[in-house]
Structure 1
Amino acid sequence: MSDPTLSRSFWHRNQQTLAPWLFLAPGILFFVFYVVYPVFQSFNLSLYEWDGLGAKEYVGLRNYEDLYYEYIDRDAFYTALKNNVIWLFLYLLAIPAGLFIALFLNQTVTGIRLYKSLFFFPFVISQVVVGLVFTWFYDPAFGFLNVFLGWFGAGPINMLGDEKYVTYGVIIAGLWPQTAYCMILYLTGLNAVNPEQIEAGRLDGAKGLRMLWHVVLPQLRPATFIAFVVTIIGALRSFDLISIMTSGGPFGSSRVLAYYMFEVALSEYGFRMGYGAAIAVVLFGIMMVFIAYFLWSMYREEKR
């Protein structure tokens, strides 16, 4: 007699193995087509001189050489790169700020739902709205910032019109919704904290910062990793707030790599698509260095 399992179809024999991949297939195809393929397309485009309409001219690494010499001359690319570094370090303040707000909101006190709604609000509004709100807040004529400074006898500050302050003013505007996002990540992580470990820490005499550092934070490592990755990506691809609040000004002092890429590729700089793609490749490389470092750090901690 023949074995009935051999007569079954390939699908019935491998259904449990194939079913997850079939459900994942649409998402994987979209990711490959709209994320992975454009990345390689940008690498390829950065080797050409192209205005977006005519024929492409292969120039090899000349676009990267132009970036290097522009960096040496401390022109637009240098300013954009410097501002991205400032964005990167100051934007990371959203992570500890989100953590401490999440620790506060994780308490059981009167009106905690109202507090959660107020802190959650910046996350759900558009970046365009955030930019407009802070533009009004910084306005040297009627903005609340200068009204507040006037109460203490301080002179008005043109936050978005002064080259010394403009980058920091835009970063503060970006930190408002980013802190709310990190807060949500940590609130989700705190719901998964093992209460038995908390109780064991209390029995060992851990409290306050010791409890936070040795018991709570190790259990929040996945949330911290996601917060780091999302915050770094947000800092390096910052575009919308700069476009709304300053348009790269004054005198190009607030531009970052993403906005400079837009300027040279699609704005008044002559539609240099290849040069813009080279900027995108540099930005992608910086982003991948940081993400690879955090992935390696997490792998090392998990292995340990």
Structure 2
Amino acid sequence: MADTAALQTSVDTRSWFHRNQQRIAPWLFLAPGILFFLVYVIFPVFQSFNLSLYEWDGLGTKEYVGLRNYEDLYWEFVDRDAFYVSLKNNLIWLLLYLLAIPAGLMIALFLNQTVTGIRLYKSLFFFPFVISQVVVGLVFSWLYDPTFGLLNVMLGWVGLGPINVLGNENLVTYGIIAAGLWPQTAYCMILYLTGLNAVDPEQIEAGRLDGAKGMRMLWHVVLPQLKPATFIAFVVTIIGALRSFDLISIMTQGGPFGSSRVLAYYMFEVALSEYGFRMGYGAAIAVVLFLIMLCFIAYFLWSMYQEEKGR
């Protein structure tokens, strides 16, 4: 009894840190990441909200203008000016970029099989993921070139005239999206390949015993187990579509006549380029872009929460 009392006394006299060491340890490991996230993500978000209320050229004194920058954006939208074109192109990007998800799934299902030369196929499909967007933009610029581009060479084989994809206001956005879909499909493919490795083989076998095969097997057995990968693919694809900048900068610089602008590139133009260094106006565009992203991501998070809650 005396030994037990002594042990209890020694435990009680330990410091708070030693008594809660196991609970504190995970937070100590997370602390650097949380700190960087707060400094480089959360703080700039609030800073952008604040800056959008000012008129500032980046060097002089800030002038508080309230919601005037947002009013200017509204009238640009009503008059179908640059902001309207940028927002419309972003929505087109968003809709067509989502094609990368089913395309990535189909490729992943193919690569998940035992096929002769599967390693070569995997390398070819994985290749777009490891090259930079700058390289992708240059490759597709050469592909679309109206004089020597491979696209027009192939069109010439069937008797069709040359098409200047990047010089046509009606085609340029779709041409850039096609370039962006190449690496994005590879990224979704990798996500689904990882998810397929975690599919329960017992459920597959049970589905076969119940007569499920083909699309029924995919829809009722495989896809429900790929929901985490699908969620990540949706979020990453939506963010990629809404913040598209590099391909537009490399391939067209917003042209021809501003027809390929998106919000991210328009923000760059008004804040740091030819429109007079309107930092506050650029910040207002950034806030609009952030809110659009937030709505989509919040919807997917809420859907997954409701689904998990219903289980």
The normalised TM-score by structure 1 is 0.99
Aligned pair 1:282/2:288, yes or no? Answer: yes
Q: Which residue of 2 aligns with 1:27?
A: 33
The equivalent position to 1:92 in structure 2, one of 98, 112, 132, is: 98
Moved over 4 A (4+): none
Q: Which residue of 1 aligns with 2:127?
A: 121
Q: Which residue of 1 aligns with 2:250?
A: 244
Tell me, in whole angstroms, the C-alpha distance in 1 between the residues paired with 2:181 and 2:45. Answer: 28
Structure 2 residue identity aligned to 1:187: L
Q: Which residue of 1 aligns with 2:22?
A: 16
Aligned pair 1:59/2:65, yes or no? Answer: yes
Residues 225-264 of structure 1: pairs in structure 2 closer than 5 A: 225-264=231-270
Aligned pair 1:106/2:107, yes or no? Answer: no
Q: Which runs of 5+ in 1 are unaligned?
A: none
The equivalent position to 1:164 in structure 2, one of 167, 170, 186, is: 170
Range with bigger deviation, 78-87 or 291-300: 291-300
Tell me, in whole angstroms, the C-alpha distance in 2 between the residues paired with 1:157 and 1:297. Answer: 43
Describe the SS at the equivalent of 1:142: coil
The equivalent position to 2:142 in structure 1, one of 132, 136, 145, is: 136
Describe the SS at the equivalent of 1:160: helix
Describe the SS at the equivalent of 2:167: coil
The RMSD of aligned alpha carbons is 0.7
Q: Which runs of 5+ in 2 are unaligned?
A: none
- Note the C-alpha offset of 1:12: 1.9
Residues 69-84 of structure 1: pairs in structure 2 closer than 5 A: 69-84=75-90
Structure 2 residue identity aligned to 1:23: F
- Note the C-alpha offset of 1:130: 0.2
- Note the C-alpha offset of 1:5: 1.0
Tell me, in whole angstroms, the C-alpha distance in 2 between the residues paired with 1:7 and 1:299. Answer: 43
Structure 1 residue identity aligned to 2:104: G
The normalised TM-score by structure 2 is 0.97
Structure 2 residue identity aligned to 1:255: R
Structure 1 residue identity aligned to 2:127: F
Describe the SS at the equivalent of 1:136: helix
- Note the C-alpha offset of 1:16: 0.9
Structure 2 residue identity aligned to 1:103: L
Tell me, in whole angstroms, the C-alpha distance in 2 between the residues paired with 1:302 and 1:8. Answer: 41
- Note the C-alpha offset of 1:7: 1.7
- Note the C-alpha offset of 1:9: 2.2
- Note the C-alpha offset of 1:30: 0.3
Describe the SS at the equivalent of 1:41: helix
- Note the C-alpha offset of 1:13: 1.1
Structure 1 residue identity aligned to 2:198: A
- Note the C-alpha offset of 1:205: 0.6
Aligned pair 1:192/2:202, yes or no? Answer: no
1:136-170 C-alpha deviation (Å, 9 max, x unpaired): 00000000000011111111100000001000000
Describe the SS at the equivalent of 1:196: helix
Describe the SS at the equivalent of 2:36: helix
Percent of residue pairs bearing the same amino acid type: 85
- Note the C-alpha offset of 1:8: 1.8
Q: Which residue of 2 aligns with 1:49?
A: 55
Q: Which residue of 1 aligns with 2:212?
A: 206
Tell me, in whole angstroms, the C-alpha distance in 1 between the residues paired with 2:216 and 2:293. Answer: 33
- Note the C-alpha offset of 1:11: 2.2
Tell me, in whole angstroms, the C-alpha distance in 1 between the residues paired with 2:58 and 2:249. Answer: 22
Describe the SS at the equivalent of 2:161: coil
Tell me, in whole angstroms, the C-alpha distance in 2 between the residues paired with 1:199 and 1:40. Answer: 52
Structure 1 residue identity aligned to 2:141: T
Tell me, in whole angstroms, the C-alpha distance in 2 between the residues paired with 1:299 and 1:69. Answer: 38
1:252-291 C-alpha deviation (Å, 9 max, x unpaired): 0000000000000000100000000000000001011111
Tell me, in whole angstroms, the C-alpha distance in 1 between the residues paired with 2:190 and 2:14. Answer: 48
Q: Which residue of 2 aligns with 1:155?
A: 161
Tell me, in whole angstroms, the C-alpha distance in 2 between the residues paired with 1:236 and 1:199. Answer: 41
- Note the C-alpha offset of 1:105: 0.3
Aligned pair 1:296/2:306, yes or no? Answer: no
The equivalent position to 1:37 in structure 2, one of 40, 43, 68, is: 43
